[in-house]
Amino acid sequence: MKDRLLGIATLTAFTAALYLAFMFAPTEATMGDVQRIFYLHVPAGITSYVAFLVVGVGSIAFLATRNAKWDRLAYCSAEVGVVFAAANIAMGMLWAKPVWGIWWTFDARLTLQLLLALIFVAYLMVGAYISDASRRAPIQAVVGILGSADVPINYLAIRIWRTQHPSPVIAGGEGSGLDADMGVTLAVAAAAVGLLYVYLLRMRLAVERTRHDVEHLEHAAAES
């Protein structure tokens, strides 16, 4: 029931966000309509950071408590986070091609997001390739912690680079700021993407719990 309500809320928020992004928000002065991709590009990026933060927290909590639910939370969040990071990068490319004339450049922000995604792809690979199932959770948690520790250092290392990517327009430096209508649209879109993350994470956790139960039953059946 809770999931259904969450699903409906996500769908409603997305419909509203799409309406606002395409019909309500003003057309950007220099880039034109292509700028509208911003309303999903930015929330997807922010959400991927949140998802990876959850991986770090879940990994630490798992090693501290040994409760399997934290382990499930960590790697389910990593899966969803990789999807959001990939979506963020793909949308960025679609935006960069008409505006910068290129799909990709090893620019500070782009590289940072790519490295972030790759860290958690590697995290998921470790989990998938571990042969001894009973050893998977703690080892994957260790990689989750090391990966999360890497994120701020990556950020600092890349900050030294020049960037062609625009600085954050919200809470950015001087000369930043967003038109009020654009701000409303972005807020709604961010809420929609955030809800989608929570929804996907809950669905993924439910699948994982079911799998856990099935394994448990199989084990019990084999023993009896």
- Give the interface with other proteins as residue ranges (CB under 8 A): 63, 106, 111, 114-115, 118-119, 121-122, 125-126, 129-132, 135, 138-139, 141-143, 145-147, 149-150, 153-154, 156-158, 160-162
CB of 208 to other proteins, least distance (A): 19
CB of 41 to other proteins, least distance (A): 21
Select 132 or 223, whichever has its Cβ closest to other proteins. Answer: 132
Helix axes 133-159, 38-65, angle to 10 degrees: 130
Select 149 or 170, whichever has its Cβ closest to other proteins. Answer: 149
Longest dimension (CA), the chain: 71
Select 23 or 156, whichever has its Cβ closest to other proteins. Answer: 156
Count CB neighbours of 4 within 10 A: 8
Q: Name residue 32's beta-bridge partners.
A: 28
Specify whether the CB–CB gap between 105 and 97 falls below 8 A. Answer: no
Please enumerate in sequence order all residues whose Cβ is within 8 A of that of 26, keeping only pairs 6 or more positions apart, or say none. Answer: 179, 181, 182
Helix axes 108-129, 133-159, angle to 10 degrees: 170
Select 122 or 217, whichever has its Cβ closest to other proteins. Answer: 122
Main-chain phi, psi angles of 25, to 5 degrees: -65, 140
CB of 70 to other proteins, least distance (A): 13
Select 119 or 201, whichever has its Cβ closest to other proteins. Answer: 119
CB of 222 to other proteins, least distance (A): 22
CB of 172 to other proteins, least distance (A): 22
